[in-house]
Chain A
Amino acid sequence: MKAPNWKEIPPGGVIAKGGTAFQYATGDWRNSRPIHDLELCINCLRCWVYCPDASIKVKDGKVVGIDYDHCKGCGICSKECPTNPKAIKMFNETDFGESHPSEF
């Protein structure tokens, strides 16, 4: 986002539009990456419930993937996953090289 000049800033620092934080990628904070396995997943949606960053992508009631732009890698999804073996596993971010999260 381009920084506005002083004439463009609304009085009182009001943020005129909602949900603008979505443009801010917090995915580069992550040091461990969740990988979702479609075959093991039972779509209980516990990960969706407990994700603090709204990063579990759900379509038609099924988990379809993870939003790596915003996922901070806390690992709650993996910890709360009830299947055995777990449908979401955490991997070290360095295993994937140094590419930026938005490139996936």
Chain B
Amino acid sequence: MKLQELTEKPDLFTGGHRACAGCGFPILIRLVMSVVDTPVVVGAATGCLSVTTALYPYSSWRVPFIHNAFENAAATISGVEAAYCTFKRRGRLNTEIRFIAFGGDGGTYDIGLQSLSGTMERGHRILYICYDNGAYANTGIQRSSATPRGANTTTTPVGKKSYGKIRPRKNLTYIMADHGIPYVAQAAISHWRDLMTKTKKALETEGPSFINVMAPCRLSWGNNPQETVDLVEEAVNSCCWPLFEVENGKWRLNFKPKTKTPYHHWLRRQTRFRHLFHPTENEELIQDLQAEVDRNWEELLSRCQ
């Protein structure tokens, strides 16, 4: 896969959408759409993605795009896929069409989990991509089950007795892998080649596939807009967001950082974790968070052997 060749393909996702400057998910969509070779139908859960890219009368999509409610992006796209299969069986359609659903972490980890789980269990040939920014960013940064521990959100506010979110994040990629579907992967926007390869693999998979991608929201993370990609790279290097894939039950680690950077380097760059360092450093908690990252990393390594 050469970038030069990809630039010659028509842009299926145009500029002019209303996402913030330095937002993470448009990068993800551009990377995904640039490797799509067959006609696709895209579905999306409610979230910044649907609000900023399909705002009547403007749409950034040059492919059919369906927006349904918060909880049923997966159910909607599975219905479209079922209709397509019926049409194909009756000989009314001969084209190969692929189906992709996008959802934010709120619409995937929390609200849309049951419809996603059902879709995966029924075995529709769809690709579900979750762009994980770790909060309900569109509605004003409430906590979601993807919010990392210690983060300040409007529903886990920092105060004298609270250091932000108390519970650790849910590991959705593991949950999806436990569904026993043919392809599950975790990727990040900073590693474009890895993400494109995984998308290609997922689209070629005969059956349901799921990719979880870290894509920052700069409003809730509180980083400078130009650091969006760099910050994700730091997350991957600190091993708090490892890149791996599960292909037919076989776990494979895709990227092992040369030197594992301390987790607090990543935390320090975001204002949502500012209270951990100012006015005094909460060393005990930072060590605790680091231990948690290390534990999860070791556990993943043992799965990937």
Contacts and interface: CB of A to CB of B under 8 A. Distances in A.
A50 B62 CA distance: 20
B225 interface: yes
A42 interface: no
Given A15-B59, A21-B53, A76-B22, A54 B229 contact: no
Contacts of B16: 21-26, 53, 69-70
Interface in A47-102: 48-55, 58, 61, 67, 69-76, 78-80, 90
Interface of B: 3-4, 7-8, 11, 13-24, 26-27, 30-31, 53-65, 189, 192, 224-230
Q: Counting chain A CB atoms within 10 Å of each CB, which of B8, B14, B19, B227 scores highest?
A: B14
A48 B7 contact: yes
Given A19-B60, A19-B62, A21-B60, A52 B23 contact: yes
A19 B55 CA distance: 11
19 contacts: A15-B59, A19-B59, A20-B57, A23-B58, A24-B16, A48-B3, A52-B23, A52-B24, A52-B27, A54-B14, A58-B7, A61-B3, A61-B7, A67-B15, A69-B16, A75-B226, A76-B27, A76-B228, A79-B226
A52 B60 contact: no
Contacts of B27: 49-52, 76
Task: Give the size range of A's interface with the partner.
Answer: 35 or more
A55 B15 CA distance: 7
Question: Which of A25, A29, A53, A69: most chain B Cβ within 10 A?
Answer: A53
B104 to A, nearest CB: 16
A45 B30 CA distance: 14
B61 A18 contact: yes
A11 interface: no
Contact of A24 (B20, B58, B65, B226): B58
A19 B226 contact: no
B17 A76 contact: no
